[in-house]
Amino acid sequence: MRAKTAVVLGAQWGDEGKGKIVDVLSERFSAVARYAGGHNAGHTVIIGGQKFVLQLIPCGVLRPGCKGVIGNGVVLDPLAFLKEVARLRDLGVSVEGQLFVSNRAQVILPYHRMIELAAESAPGRKKIGTTSRGIGPAYEDKMARSGLRVVDLLNPALLKTHIEAACAEKNAIAHALFGTDPLDPEKMYDEYAAAAEKVAPFVTDSGRMLNGILRAGGSVMFEGAQGTMLDIDHGTYPFVTSSSATAGGAATGTGVGPTAIGTVISVTKAYVTRVGEGPFPTEISDAVGDHLRARGNEYGAVTGRPRRCGWLDIPLLRYSNQVNGAEWLVVTKLDVLDELDEIPVCIGYEIDGKVTDEIPADVRGLEAIKPHYTTLKGWHESTEGITEFDKLPKAAQEYLHFQERESGAKIGMVSTGPDRDQTMLLPEFAQALEGIHA
C-alpha cells in the first residue's frame, strides 16, 4: 500500500458487511471518514456479542483514539445524527473529541422527506425502493445549488430565511403534485435551530483535518456507503442511490486529493443480496433463497426489509473491481454457504441470444440477462469462526480461490461470522497493512 490511506467499499448492492470490515481494520488508522450517502445506510458491528448499528456515524468511533469524520459528500439529517450520538453515549462510547462533521456537508430537512415519501407513493411513478429518509431530494437541492449546508445551519438568520423560502416552494410543489399537507416553517425553524446548537461542537473543516492528519504521518480510511451497483453513475440506473458510492467518491466526498489514495479494498459477500427495486440477474426465487436469507439474517439494518438473495455474480464483481480500481477483495458471510451441497456461480451472461460478460448500461438490457452458471462443490462443514485459511474445508478454499482468479482482485480477508474476532487476514494482506500503522 503506497499512501497511508485505503478506501473500503461495497462491491455489490450494499449490505456486504462493510461495517464489520471497517471496524476490524480501524485499529490501524488515525481516522475513518465517511464520504457519501446519509442515514439510509446502516452498518452493523458486533463486538464481544454487543451490537452497534451505525447509520451516519463512521465505524471508527468504536475504536478509542480513532477519529470518525462525516465528510462533505454526506447528506446530514441533524436530528438523526443527534439521536445516533445519544445512542452511542448510552452504550458507553465516548464521542467528544473523536467525532467530526464537515462544515460543507448538505443538510436534510423535513421537506426532503415529505417530497420523497410522496413521490415514492404516487400512482404512476416509477418506484425505486428508497428508504424515504429524504436522501435523494437533499442531493437534488445540492445539485440545484439551492441546498443548505452545515455551515449555514449554524447561522440562525440564514437558517430562518432558507426554511421560509424553501417551505413556500416545497409545500406548493408537494400539494400540487401529490396533495400533501403543508409543513410549518416556524415550527421547523425552532426545531432545527435548537438542533444546530447541539451539532455545532462537532463541526469542522474536515478536508483540512484529514489532509493535516496525512501530512503529519497519520493514516485515513475512507468508508463507503451502499455499494458500487447503487452508484449514481456506475450502478443499475435508475435503481440507484443519489451519490457516488464508488472509490472516486472518496476524493470528492472528503476533500482529500485522488493522488493520496493508497489502495481500494472491495467487500463482497460469498453470494449476493439486494434491497429494494431493480434488476438482479442471479436472484434466487426458491427455497434456497429463503435458506440463505435465514442463515445470513438478511434484513436491512436501517429498515428491517428482507433482502433479495442470489448467487455470486462474477461479471458484476469484475465490473465493480474495474470501476473502483480494487486491489484487494474481502469476502464476507462464507459461513452462510456451509450447508449447501452445490454452489452455482454466474460466470457469464446471455442477452438476446448473445454471450457476453459486459454489464449493460440500460435497465432493459439488465432485465434481459440470462445468467450462465458453473457449479462448485459445497463443503458441508462449519466454517464459522475459523481464522486461518488452511483450516477451511478444501472446497471452501477452492470457492475462494475461484473468486480471486475470476474477479481480478486478491483476497485479503475472509469473514466467517458476525463478530469482530471471526475474521481471517491472509498473510500478503496482513503484510501490506503493516505499512499503514499510524
**Would you name the residues annotated as active-site residues?**
15, 43
Residues 134 and 79 sit within 8 Å (Cβ to Cβ): no
Please report where in the chains the cell 469482530 appears, as a residue. Answer: 420
Sheet containing 342-351, strands listed edge to edge, beginning at the edge strand earlier in sequence: 354-356, 342-351, 370-377
Angle at 38 between CA 223 and CA 217, to 5 degrees: 30
C-beta atoms surrounding 144 within 10 Å: 8
Q: How many residues does the chain have?
A: 438
> Measuring CA to CA, how many Å separate 311 from each of 12, 32, 130, 359, 373?
12, 31, 24, 16, 9
What backbone phi and psi angles, to 5 degrees, belong to 171? Answer: -60, -40
What backbone phi and psi angles, to 5 degrees, belong to 192? Answer: -85, -25
Considering only the C-alpha atoms of the chain, give the largest distance between any 2 of them, rounded to a whole number of Å.
66
> Measuring CA to CA, how many Å separate 130 from each of 87, 116, 240?
24, 8, 9
Cell of 402: 475461484
Helix ranges (H only) for 3-134 are 18-25, 78-90, 110-121
Residue 61 is classified by DSSP as G
Beta partners for residue 306, in sequence order:
299
C-beta atoms surrounding 179 within 10 Å: 9
